[in-house]
């Protein structure tokens, strides 16, 4: 029988949240005194080792940025009854040919509470900001996440954004 150490490494494209891995649970001697063997998906172990189970990438066009107050952009849907998000988000702004006249933008919940630090899109350079959850108010359970300007619609600019969000869905209580 071939040993696991004799196997070749998997291609990076084969490593996804649903990739199966083999674990040995030493606290369960039901299969063997040394421990029992089980299969798990990578997304099952992410919370245990401190990672995020899920990833989403959203491109925000210049026309969507120009309506961030009147039409916030959906980033993640509501996670389900009695659940909430734990996340880390990357805001990437790609400057076009003209600057926006804008207020800071945020990720907000379904009650329009800010849940990240502010991000400024008024500059003339490509910029990035990383933010984890930063809840200054209460965040309702089962809340979606949206990108918004809470004061008014930006004007004049033509840059774009990419929102990269790594997240877990957490059971409340």
**Residue 26 shares a structural domain with residue 89:** no
Q: Report how many domains make up the chain.
A: 2
**Residue 28 shares a structural domain with residue 83:** no
Give the structural domain span for 16.
4-49
pTM attached to this predicted model: 0.76
Q: Is the pLDDT of residue 13 over 90?
A: no
Strand partners, 165: 56, 89
DSSP 123-152: SSS-EEEEEE---SS---TT--EEEEESSS
**Residue 43 shares a structural domain with residue 83:** no
- Of the pLDDT bands very low, low, confident and very high (cuts 50, 70, 90), residue 143 is very high
CATH number of the structural domain spanning residue 152: 2.60.120
């Amino acid at each position: 029988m071939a040993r696991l150490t004799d196997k070749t490494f998997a291609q990076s494209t084969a490593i996804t949240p649903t990739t199966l891995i083999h674990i040995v649970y030493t606290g369960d001697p039901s299969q063997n005194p040394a421990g029992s063997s089980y299969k798990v998906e990578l997304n099952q172990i992410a919370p245990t080792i401190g990672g995020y189970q899920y990833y989403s990438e959203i491109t925000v066009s210049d026309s969507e940025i120009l309506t961030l107050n009147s039409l916030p952009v959906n980033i993640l849907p509501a996670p389900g009854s009695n659940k909430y998000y734990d996340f880390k988000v990357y805001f990437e702004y790609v400057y076009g040919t003209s600057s926006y006249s804008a207020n800071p933008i945020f990720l907000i919940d379904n009650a329009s509470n800010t849940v990240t630090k502010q991000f400024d899109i008024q500059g003339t350079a490509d910029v990035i900001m990383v933010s984890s959850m930063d809840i200054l108010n209460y965040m309702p359970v089962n809340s979606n996440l949206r990108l918004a300007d809470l004061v008014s619609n930006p004007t004049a600019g033509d840059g774009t954004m990419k929102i990269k969000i790594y997240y877990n869905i957490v059971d409340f209580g």
